Amino acid sequence: MSQKINGVKGMNDLLPGEIEIWQFVESTARTLFGRFGYGEVRTPMVEDTALFVRSVGEETDIVGKEMYTFEDKGGRSLSLRPEGTAPAARAYIEHSVNNQEPVSRWFYMGPMFRYERMKTGRYRQFSQIGAEAYGAKEPAQDAELMDVVVQFLEALGLTDVTLNINSLGDDNCRPAYHAKLVEYLNAHKEELCADCQQRLERNPLRVLDCKNEKCQAVAAAGPNVLEFLCEPCRAHFTDLQRKLGVLGIRYVVNHRLVRGLDYYTRTVFEFIASHPALGTASTVGGGGRYDKMMKGLGGPDVPAVGFAMGLDRLVLLLKESGKTFAQRPDLFIAVADEGSQDEGLKLASRLRREGLKVDFDTRGGSLKSQMKRADKSGARFTLVLGEQERTTGQAKLKPMAGGEPVPVALDSVAATVRAQPEAPAPAPAC
């Protein structure tokens, strides 16, 4: 017997019964982002490795440890995208979008890839929903993006999420903070984990990202980046907080928040859920301002700000909500005899053309077994088609949640089903 082939570890299948939650999140995102004027973009899953080295940062864990990188047949180094901001920026530059419009607002959704230790809500193929705004340097644009996320979470019914914000300053004020941080961390080097001791040499800000409790305790007592902000950065952060107040958005200032990527300047933010289902992977989304990236990638000197949300984590939270996302059939068609099988197939096809969600078991079988399948399907109504119904052109719609059958002409089934009041879905049969 041939050996069974399993899926790649950390890359999950999505099957009916679960995929409906993903579709709900995706459709909600498209609707909500569209209200804010964000248009969808789709970039390739594979990019030149140099794109991520130059944007995300060579010393980050993503580039240094987690990317899926390979050499193609032409000898080029390519990588599966580990995040969505850099590919979107590359597309913006490559297509000279800045010459077409002064401000561009995009959103994207799709799979990303990182080879990292797996746990709840953290996988090697994961999906993100993100948005980017190019051309506006004002705090109002930062606030608008956070408003997008707040309204998106509300539309999903996820309310127990806290917004954390911080400012990392810019090239004028960050060097002074960086020097003070290095001085402090060096004084506490022996208290840091092995990874953070290496980060201290390569990229000290990453120490503030560490989830090790001892490293977190060291970071908590370290210098506060907000005390080093220059006047323009301080004014930007102050105005951002004022605008969040105008929008009625609650937030927490977290001076240890740095995010895990090198391209951020000034504003950074995260949305953190407190639900135990996520374990330690409690950040459901985050982002910030990256005003220097576009020029650093060979493009125009255009300011930008964006965010990404982990779709896998949002789905985990929605699963815990107990809500039902699957769309149940409007109608289950059962056939009472073999002679009605073709007519049942034909009726199902016509009603689907007319917009009904129709379940029809092509295997046929006894009427009793078909009615069991109708119960299990959760359909609103069942129509039994037999010789009498075919001859008279009349049938009955049986409400599966209980109630009296509804007489119906076979040529007006769709209209009759739509006219019936919606009833609660019946409990699935065991």
Give the dihedral of Cα atoms 356, 361, 362, 364; nearest 10 deg. Answer: -130
320 annotated binding-site participant: no
Ramachandran angles phi, psi of 237, nearest 5°: -70, -40
Q: Which amino acid is at 409?
A: A
DSSP 119: B
Strand-pairing partners, residue 406, are 397
85 annotated as a binding-site residue: yes
Known binder of ligand: residue 38? Answer: no
42 appears as a binding residue in the annotation: no
* Residue 264 marked as a ligand binder: yes
Distances (CA, A) of 138 to 296, 304, 305: 20, 10, 10
Q: Amino acid identity, residue 158?
A: L
110 is in an annotated binding site: no
Is 114 known as a binding-site position?
yes
Backbone CA torsion sign across 305, 156, 117, 18: negative
Whether 259 has a binding-site annotation, put simply, is yes
Residue 59, CB half-sphere, CA atoms under 13 Å: how many? Answer: 14
The helices-and-strands tally (H runs, E runs) of the chain is 15, 16
Containing H/E element for 94? helix 85-94
Would you state the structure tokens that stand for residue 154, as one six-digit string?
């509300």
Phi-psi region for residue 346, left (φ > 0), alpha (ψ -120 to 50) or beta? alpha
The answer to the question of whether 128 is labelled as a binding residue is yes
The residue type of 96 is: S
Q: Which residue positions form the known binding site for L-histidine?
A: 83-85, 114, 128, 132, 259, 263-264
Annotated binding site: 83-85, 114, 128, 132, 259, 263-264
